[in-house]
Amino acid sequence: MFSSVVELTQALIRIPSVNPDDQSGFAKGGEQAIAEKLAEWLRQWGAEVILEEILPQRPNLIARWAPLDGRPRVLLGPHLDTVGIANMKVEAFGGHIVDGTITGRGASDTKGPMASMLWALKEHAALLADAPVAVDFVAFMGEESGQWGSKHFAEHHGAHYQFAVAGEPTSLQIVSTTKGSLWSTLVAQGKACHSSMPDEGDNAILKLARALDVLEKHLKPRLAAYTHPRLGASTMNIGTFRGGTRANIVPDLAEAQLDIRITPALTAAGGAEQLLATTIKELGLPVKMVNTHENPPMETDEQNPYLQCLRRARSGTECVTAPWFSDAAHLSRGGIPSVCLGPGSIEQAHKDDEFIRIDDLHAGVEHFSQFIQLLQRL
């Protein structure tokens, strides 16, 4: 079927699995298509495979070689979806080899790390059914928007697992601590009228712009009080601003989207959503919060025996922090101690010339293979 992890990575890239929430307008079905192809391969490698639909045509894939019989379990968990392909400088689903790299959407985030995990599992498939520590493969839908796959899995299957490795491009360093995030849209409503008589209306754009200016001045120092020795402070960014329909109409609606990055200290104090809502109320700002979605921070104990096993699997691997969030944070919140790890660089994720180095792929296979072997000696 495949003679190498390189061919497997190429095959994965050539199956489009763009998150359907992406603004490029891809229809649903890509996550299901790649899940079905993975299921076919994994069954050939001796795994029992379940496709668990989370949203229509958007399943998680769960592959097990050992039965659920109470033995300790670890999962290797990349995500099925990718971001969109607008303005890419390389063929999005080509999977071409160029100067020692493989190019295409998902090469780095996260089909390269997925391929490394799969190849290591394939190499040990004959041993996994009787292994004292079970190692499962779980591929999550929806990581690039909403993380419904990992949330659902943690809620319904988390009790079976002692540890999880989320597949992300971390240059084979162990990301054990990350910030969370709060995305919230702030909406201001006004009154429309003809722009020749602006005093007859209520300009929602001006109302929102002034409110955001006041909010930033007051919320920014409050966020700065919630720090972490390695992650730094909680922060905020105003990422989008929309309003109005025509220059000759006073706008009656404006909205802006905030991104607040959350440290563990802020979560412990009640969370970013509560802080934002309280600040808006205290300041009397004429805005309301809608479409609020919070992703938790993650801080996994570096002395965890499974984490230490992952660290020993490759010389030079250390625990590091990251300002981004992933499925691992939701798995951790659901009770599964989790980290992120995989070959490839996060600096290549989502880029218009996305690639992964072939040497890094092979290093990833070796790391995961050693991890699987070391697990059996715990």
Reported as a single tens digit per residue, the pLDDT across 248-263 is 999 999 999 999 999 9
Assess whether pLDDT exceeds 70 at residue 356: yes
Task: Give the confidence band of 24 by pLDDT, cuts at 50, 70, 90.
Answer: low
Task: Give the confidence band of 317 by pLDDT, cuts at 50, 70, 90.
Answer: very high
120 shares its domain with 38: yes
Interstrand relation of 134-139 and 48-55 (parallel, antiparallel or unpaired) = unpaired
34 shares its domain with 127: yes
114 shares its domain with 193: no
206 shares its domain with 93: no
Assess whether pLDDT exceeds 70 at residue 15: yes
Query: From CA 279, how far away is CA 287, in angstroms rounded?
Result: 11
Q: For residue 128, give the DSSP letter.
A: H
CB 149 within 8 A of CB 54: yes
Q: What residues contact residue 143 under an 8 Å CB cut-off, 6+ apart? A: 79, 80, 81, 110, 149, 150, 326, 327
Assess whether pLDDT exceeds 80 at residue 27: no
Residue 302 tokens, joined: 């570096």
Assess whether pLDDT exceeds 80 at residue 349: yes
Assess whether pLDDT exceeds 80 at residue 168: yes
Identify the CATH number of the domain in which residue 196 sits.
3.30.70.360
Query: From CA 202, how far away is CA 205, in angstroms rounded?
Result: 9
Which of 262, 295, 328 finishes a domain? 295
Three-point CA angle 272, 323, 146, nearest 5°: 60
Say what the pLDDT of residue 1 is: 80
282 shares its domain with 370: no
Neighbouring CB atoms inside 10 A of 197's CB total 9
Token look-up 């499962």 returns 136
140 shares its domain with 36: yes
Angstrom CA distances, 236 to 218, 219, 262, 300, 375, stand at 11, 8, 9, 24, 40
Say what the pLDDT of residue 25 is: 61
Identify the CATH number of the domain in which residue 320 sits.
3.40.630.10
pLDDT tens track for 51-87: 999 999 999 999 999 999 999 999 999 999 999 998 8
Assess whether pLDDT exceeds 90 at residue 378: no
pLDDT tens track for 218-250: 999 999 999 999 999 999 999 999 999 999 999
Query: 228-257: string of b/e by CB count within 10 Å (b at 16+)?
Result: beebebbbbeeeeeebbeeeeebbbbbbbe
Say what the pLDDT of residue 301 is: 97
194 shares its domain with 284: yes
Counting the structural domains of the chain, the total is 2
CB 51 within 8 A of CB 36: yes
Which of 266, 295, 324 finishes a domain? 295
Query: From CA 351, how far away is CA 245, in angstroms rounded?
Result: 32
- Integer Rg of the chain from CA: 23
160 shares its domain with 125: yes
- 204-224 helix and 272-283 helix, angle to the nearest 10 degrees: 120
93 shares its domain with 165: yes
Q: 276 lies in which domain range?
A: 180-295
Query: From CA 104, how far away is CA 176, in angstroms rounded?
Result: 28
Task: Give the confidence band of 370 by pLDDT, cuts at 50, 70, 90.
Answer: very high
290 shares its domain with 302: no
72 shares its domain with 117: yes
Say what the pLDDT of residue 113 is: 98
45 shares its domain with 141: yes
Which of 276, 295, 314 finishes a domain? 295
pLDDT tens track for 107-148: 999 999 999 999 999 999 999 999 999 999 999 999 998 899
Measured torsion, CA atoms of residues 136, 141, 146, 150, in degrees rounded to the nearest 10: -10
List the 235-243 sheet strands across, edge first.
235-243, 253-262, 180-189, 288-295
- The mean pLDDT of the chain is 96
